[in-house]
């Protein structure tokens, strides 16, 4: 996808997923080694930083992998915004190791699963 297509799709999906009350910034950048958390057959195309308390979020897209971005990857990132409040609560109230485990595995798995379901139903 091109940058203008991605921006248009992010706005569209944010509205469908009731996330358009967020101050949502979209940033295109070349990812550093730390940002490229590739594992096996998964390549990092984007990630999201979200502040649930102040309804602000930024989605970063990897300019080296714009071709890999599709509706599912965009929905995946928006769903991270939806879960930011819960994840923030865990970090505030649970041991860091538990919160890391939630974020690194359960949140990732849940948004991946929901992104597939949503895009197959609504695309
Ligand atoms: Zn993710």
- Per-domain boundaries in the chain: 3-122
Supply 123's token pair.
């695309």
pLDDT tens, residue by residue, 26-82: 999 999 888 887 676 677 899 999 988 899 999 999 999 999 999 999 999 999 999
**Distance from Cα 47 to the centre of ligand 1, integer Å:** 6
**Distance from Cα 48 to the centre of ligand 1, integer Å:** 8
The whole-number pLDDT of residue 42 equals 73
Distances (CA, A) of 13 to 8, 35, 59, 95: 9, 24, 13, 33
CA separation for the pair 84, 79 (Å, rounded)? 9
CA separation for the pair 44, 25 (Å, rounded)? 19
Average pLDDT over residues 82-103: 89
CATH match for 3-122 among 1.10.287, 3.30.2010, 3.30.559, 2.30.30: 3.30.2010
Neighbours of ion ligand 1 (CB under 5 A): 108
**Distance from Cα 29 to the centre of ligand 1, integer Å:** 17
**Distance from Cα 103 to the centre of ligand 1, integer Å:** 9
Supply 111's token pair.
């948004």
Measured distance between the N- and C-terminal CA atoms of the chain, rounded to whole angstroms: 15
- For the whole model, what pTM was predicted? 0.89
Percent of the chain residues topping a pLDDT of 70: 96
Q: Which residues pair with 79 in a beta bridge?
A: none
User: Is a pLDDT exceeding 80 seen at residue 14?
Assistant: yes
């Amino acid at each position: 996808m091109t940058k203008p297509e991605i921006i248009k799709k992010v706005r569209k999906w944010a509205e469908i997923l009731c996330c358009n009350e967020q101050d949502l910034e979209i940033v295109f950048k070349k990812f550093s080694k730390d940002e490229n958390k590739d594992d096996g057959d998964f390549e990092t195309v984007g990630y999201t930083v979200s502040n649930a308390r102040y309804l602000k979020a930024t989605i970063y897209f990897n300019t080296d992998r714009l071709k890999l971005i599709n509706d599912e990857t965009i929905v995946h990132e928006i769903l991270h915004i939806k879960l930011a409040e819960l994840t923030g609560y865990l970090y505030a109230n649970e041991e860091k190791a538990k919160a890391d485990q939630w974020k690194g595995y359960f949140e990732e798995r849940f948004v991946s699963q929901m992104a597939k379901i949503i895009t197959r139903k609504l695309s």
